[in-house]
Structure 1
Amino acid sequence: MMKIVNMFLGILFFGSVSLAQNKNDQHLLFTQILNDYVHDGLVNYINLKEDKRLDKYLEQLENTNPDNLRTDEDKLAFWINAYNAFTLKFIIEEYPVESINDLHWGGLYLGTLLGTTVWDDEKIIINGTKLSLNNIEHDIARKKFNEERVHFAMVCASYSCPQLRDEAYEGFKLNKQLNEQARLFFMDETKNNFDLKKRTAYLSKILNWYSSDFGNDDQSILLYVSQFLDREIANDIRRNSSQWEIDHLSYNWDLNEIK
């Protein structure tokens, strides 16, 4: 009798653990994929191309109604993961490629002018709705959630993009994850650089393309950035923001690939 009771309690315990994991880790499959193929922000596209789990995860996204997710954090995490997962899918569909720009009809500049880039292509279907990567980034993540830190989490498969995280975003820890991504991005000297002697911030072009998301002028942008920097530079920016200048680094569109 005692064995039966213990077995029953064990089933209840492990069942409750499983339910807790499912409740919190809504994107566990994507975390497992990223953990296997992403190292230091770079992707092993060769092996990812052969792994069918990504298709299974994309199917999970396609069959989800994000409006039914419990919190705004859950919803935003869903859309960030969707952007990153579909970007990976589009790359491996055409791999080997040297850059995501190889996927645009007409290349980057003509494709942007004509609206024929991979970011414009409405080949994503979520809960029956056709979407593009641009829809997800601009119409949903930026517009509906008013969250500028998505710029440090959504990854366009290029070296100058923020590093791709080796875990999925989850609503219950999204704020912590986004802060970590922001700090990682601004502390990476290949993406942003700060010359204290010259009081010049060499920032990613992301801060130029989407400057209005971070502030109304250079000073407010610098003050925003300072919260993610080491103390010495951050304090100098806060005390002397009017003396700091901003320049922007060239953008490296090479594929964010492990070589």
Structure 2
Amino acid sequence: MFPTVLSPSLTFSGYILSMQAVEFGRKLASKHFFRHVLDENDFEDGNQPYRFLDHDPVIMTQCYNIPRGIIDVAPKPMAEIASRLRKLSCAIFEAYVSEDGRHVDYRSIQGCEEFKRYIRTTEELQRVETSDLSREEKLAFFINLYNMMAIHALVTCGHPAGPLDRKKFFGDFKYVIGGCAYSLSAIENGILRGNQRPPYNLVKPFGQKDQRSKVALSYPEPLVHFALVCGTKSGPALRCYSPGNIDKELMEAARDFVRNGGLIVDPEAKVASVSKILRWYNTDFGKNETEVLKHAANYLEPAASEQFLELLANTQLKVSYQPYDWSLNI
């Protein structure tokens, strides 16, 4: 039997079909239907390992915004989804969070219609495009999402009882956003802190090839630590943030936190009692303890700030860090 010989025109036609198939595959990948298993490329011809989101074990077992599986309808613009989520969050906070933002009625939130609508809306994040968000949009969106994710985790999985449970709380409860899985830790340390190592960890959240690194902020935003609420009594007040006023709102959150126990100064005893948050994330605030304390002083009342800075400059100020109260902020 003679071998089959392809004509040049047939070979060229096959090449064109192959290129069209690759281009079609890249379009599907750009819409977050599937991704490279090792995040090495978007889509290339050849023997490459790709996986549909529905087949990703992390997404299917740890993500809590896919109750009906991966949706295949075209996602709405990110700004529109973020706005709807923010409005629902604000409605929930207004109804079920104390005026000072420090006490949350989780039981009522779990059963309310706004929370159910919120969860349904988070499904639209599965294949949304996040890379085009501005710094302000990223800050507001991911802070708001973190705070609502924490509430979702608490009402779904319960309050973490100890260090091991807290590790699971921050690392294993996830949403799929733009085709990638995000935990609370990934949002805080990967996105909002510009891919910095979490406290007591040796590695950064995102590796060099991790697609999520494209969404991360360029540098750490220290004031997010006064806005992220994980459901503890020692954490900041719970509130909503908007992209148009995010910097002003974060400044207000910082003042509220520092002036309400985050930094307590006894001038006569020359002692400063400081929230452990400033110790855990000290590299975001300064190169050493003095710089961190100077940063925190910016958010005290002007007279108290001036007095504290004078103590810091002229005396042997004794600094102690407050025990962190992990109790639920009910």
User: TM class by shorter-chain length?
Assistant: 0.7 to 0.9
Q: 1:223 Cα shift?
A: 1.0
CA contact (8 A) 2:233 2:327 kept: yes
Contact 1:80 1:153 in 2 (8 A): yes
d(CA) in 2 for partners of 1:82, 1:58: 9
Aligned to 1:49: 110
CA RMSD of aligned residues (A): 2.3
CA distance in 1 between counterparts of 2:301 and 2:97 reads 26
Change (3 A) 1:24 1:111: closer
User: Would you say the 8 A contact 2:263–2:296 is kept in 1?
Assistant: no
Cα deviation 1:190-221 (Å, max 9, x = unaligned)? x4322121222201111111111111222211
Amino acid across the alignment from 1:136: I
CA–CA distance in structure 1, aligned partners of residues 82 and 232 of structure 2: 30
Identical columns (%): 31
Structure 2 unaligned blocks of 5 or more: 1-78, 195-215
2:95 aligned to 36, 60, 78, which one?
Answer: 36
Task: Structure 1 unaligned segments of length 5 or more: list them.
Answer: 1-20
> Given that residues 202 and 248 in structure 1 are in contact (C-alpha distance below 8 angstroms), is that contact kept between their aligned partners in structure 2?
yes
Superposition deviation, residue 46 in structure 1: 1.2
The whole-number CA distance in structure 2 between the counterparts of 1:29 and 1:68 is 23
How many angstroms apart in 2 are the aligned matches of 1:172 and 1:119? 28
Provide the C-alpha distance between the structure 1 equivalents of 2:154 and 2:165, rounded to a whole number of angstroms.
17
Paired position in structure 2 for 1:161? 235
CA 34–65 in structure 1, closer or farther in 2 if over 3 Å, else same? farther
Paired AA for residue 138 in structure 1 = N
Q: Separation in 2 of the partners of 1:111 and 1:38? A: 25
Distance 1:173 1:90, change over 3 A: same
Which runs of structure 2 are paired with 1:80-95 in the superposition (5 Å)?
80-95=143-158
2:195 maps to 1:123: no
Q: Report deviation, 1:186.
A: 0.5
Question: Match for residue 255 of structure 1?
Answer: 328
Normalised TM-score (structure 1): 0.78
Say whether 1:226 aligns with 2:297: yes
Q: CA deviation at 1:49?
A: 0.7
Aligned to 1:12: none
8 Å contact from structure 2 (residues 146, 187) kept in 1? yes
Partner of 2:129: 65
Gap change, CA 1:198 and 1:65, over 3 Å in 2: farther
1:171 aligns with 2:228: no
* Preserved CA contact (<8 Å) 2:136 2:246: yes
My pick for the range that moved more, 54-63 or 154-163, is 54-63
CA contact (8 A) 1:58 1:85 kept: no
Question: Structure 1 counterpart of 2:107, which letter?
Answer: I
Judge conservation of contact 2:285–2:292 (CA < 8 Å) in 1: yes
Q: Distance in 2 between matches of 1:43 and 1:213?
A: 28
Kept in 2, the 8 Å contact 1:222–1:237? The answer is no
Paired residues for 1:104-253 under 5 Å: 107-108=162-163, 110=164, 116-121=167-172, 123-143=174-194, 144-145=216-217, 146-165=220-239, 168-189=240-261, 191-242=262-313, 243=315, 244-253=317-326
Q: Describe the shift of the 1:44–1:122 C-alpha distance in structure 2 as closer, same or farther (beyond 3 A).
A: closer
Q: Does 1:79 align with 2:138?
A: no
Equivalent residue pairs, number: 221
Q: Is the 8 A contact 2:81 2:124 kept in 1?
A: no
In 2, the alpha carbon distance for the partners of 1:175 and 1:203 equals: 23
Q: Following TM superposition, by how much is the alpha carbon of 1:59 offset from its aligned partner in structure 2, in angstroms?
A: 2.9
In structure 2, what is the Cα distance between the partners aligned to 1:92 and 1:111? 14
